[in-house]
């Protein structure tokens, strides 16, 4: 087997020595080319190169969810082709590693490498579904190119939190769960549309859902992790189905306290619920429109402001080693 290892040197939970150990472990079992990313988007370019190659069987992403997202978008730059593009393996190196953990991999990079080598020996893999988001035709965002996501996207409140965290990290702050909690509070205090939402969810063949103040799109469960605690926004979401949506129509102090508590105590059987909560399961196609530009994120990467995004849930999009 010939493999390409994409290494993010800025991965927050792996040292240079650890990465060297992982590279030697992988290289002992396969013909391995290791490339260290040098700029934002480099992992995507490497994934594209692998997809266009005739002799790369596997791409291993060593980094956080952002690195994985870039690699996936490179691999699928011509669209999903389960048998035509290299398989993907993920070694978690970020602060949260939602995609890797949702696949059942250990959150430790060394242990995950061992699990991947075992999976390769036993030819263990699965085909996962992914989400695709693009600018909506006929809107001011129609020229926004399509982009794949592996575990979640969000328009509105949660994307604003992601943007605030990124700003803090650019100024030297470490990505910790305490940092995220502080930014949630600050986003809430500054949220201009928390009582009267501006988002409309349009699903073909269904009545529009209007006045949403928050919208979270899940491709799997859990939605994220706080330390070792999984958080379930859409407990039914799965790599084997299309997309799930959680929408909240109100973000008043009382509503945030209620739904925040429900998220912190969520489980695979029970997520947020109530008269201001909207939960939809296994959606293949839908669009989110907003009356005002709102922050947008995919896989924890802030992508700026959007007024309209069209989503597609694509089953059986990519083969993953697990």
Residue 37, domain CATH: 3.40.50.10330
Do 186 and 306 share a domain, yes or no? yes
**Do 219 and 91 have their domain in common?**
no
State phi, psi for 83 to the nearest 5 degrees: -95, -10
Q: How confident is the model at residue 289 (pLDDT cuts 50, 70, 90)?
A: very high
Q: Are residues 224 and 87 in the same domain?
A: no
Rg of the chain taking only CA atoms, in angstroms = 19
The SS3 of residue 41 is coil
Question: For the chain, how many structural domains are there in total?
Answer: 2
Residues 174 and 81 in one domain: no
Percent of the chain whose predicted confidence (pLDDT) is above 90: 80
Q: Is the pLDDT assigned to residue 210 strictly greater than 70?
A: yes
Which of 122, 148, 174 is the C-terminal boundary of a domain?
Answer: 122
> Are 162 and 299 found together in one domain?
yes
Domain range for 134: 129-314
**Do 117 and 214 sit in the same domain of this protein?**
no
Q: Is 238 found in the same domain as 257? A: yes
185, 157 contact by CB (below 8 A): no
pLDDT confidence tier of residue 280, bands split at 50, 70 and 90: very high
Report pLDDT digits (tens) over 247-261: 999 888 888 889 999
Q: Is the peptide bond before 222 cis (omega within 30 degrees of 0)?
A: yes
Residue 284 pLDDT: 98
**Which of 122, 143, 167 is the C-terminal boundary of a domain?**
122
**Does 106 have pLDDT greater than 90?**
yes
pLDDT exceeds cutoff 70 at 158: yes
Give ∠ CA 86-89-91 in degrees, rounded to 5: 150
Q: What average pLDDT does this structure show over 58-85? A: 96
Q: With a cut of 70, say whether residue 194 has pLDDT above it.
A: no
> How many Cα atoms are found within 13 Å in the side-chain-facing hemisphere of 277?
16
User: Is 253 within the bounds of a domain?
Assistant: yes
Residue ending a domain, choose from 89, 122, 155: 122
pLDDT category of residue 66 using cuts at 50, 70 and 90: very high
Shared domain check, 115 and 27:
yes
Statement: the pTM of the whole predicted model exceeds 0.95: no
Answer whether residue 175 shows pLDDT above 70.
Answer: no
Is the confidence at residue 146, as pLDDT, over 90? Answer: yes
């Amino acid at each position: 087997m010939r493999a390409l290892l994409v290494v993010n040197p800025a991965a927050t939970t792996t040292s240079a020595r650890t990465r060297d150990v992982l590279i030697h472990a992988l290289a002992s079992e396969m013909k391995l080319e290791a490339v260290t990313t040098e700029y934002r988007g480099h992992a995507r370019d490497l994934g594209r190169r692998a997809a266009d190659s005739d002799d790369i069987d596997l791409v291993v992403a060593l980094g956080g969810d952002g690195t994985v997202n870039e690699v996936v978008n490179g691999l699928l730059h011509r669209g999903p082709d389960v048998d035509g593009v290299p398989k993907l393996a993920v070694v978690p190196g970020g602060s949260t590693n939602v995609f890797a953990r949702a696949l059942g991999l250990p959150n430790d990079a060394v242990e995950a490498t061992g699990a991947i080598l075992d999976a390769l020996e036993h030819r263990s893999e699965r085909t996962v579904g992914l989400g695709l988001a693009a600018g909506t035709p006929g809107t001011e965002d129609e020229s926004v190119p399509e982009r794949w996501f592996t575990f979640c996207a969000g328009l509105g409140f949660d994307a604003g939190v992601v943007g605030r965290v990124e700003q803090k990290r650019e100024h030297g702050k470490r990505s910790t769960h305490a940092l995220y909690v502080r930014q949630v509070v600050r986003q809430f205090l500054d949220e201009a549309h928390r009582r009267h939402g501006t988002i409309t969810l349009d699903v073909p063949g269904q009545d529009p859902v209007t006045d949403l103040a928050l919208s979270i799109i899940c491709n799997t469960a859990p939605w994220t992790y706080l330390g070792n605690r999984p958080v379930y926004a859409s407990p039914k979401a799965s790599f084997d189905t299309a997309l799930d949506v959680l929408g909240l129509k109100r973000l008043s102090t009382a509503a945030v306290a209620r739904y925040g508590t429900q998220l912190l105590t969520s489980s695979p059987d029970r997520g947020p619920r109530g008269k201001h909560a909207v939960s939809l399961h296994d959606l293949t196609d839908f669009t989110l429109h907003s009356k005002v530009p709102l922050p947008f994120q995919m896989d924890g990467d802030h992508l700026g402001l959007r007024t309209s995004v069209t989503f597609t849930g694509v089953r059986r999009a990519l083969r993953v080693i697990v």
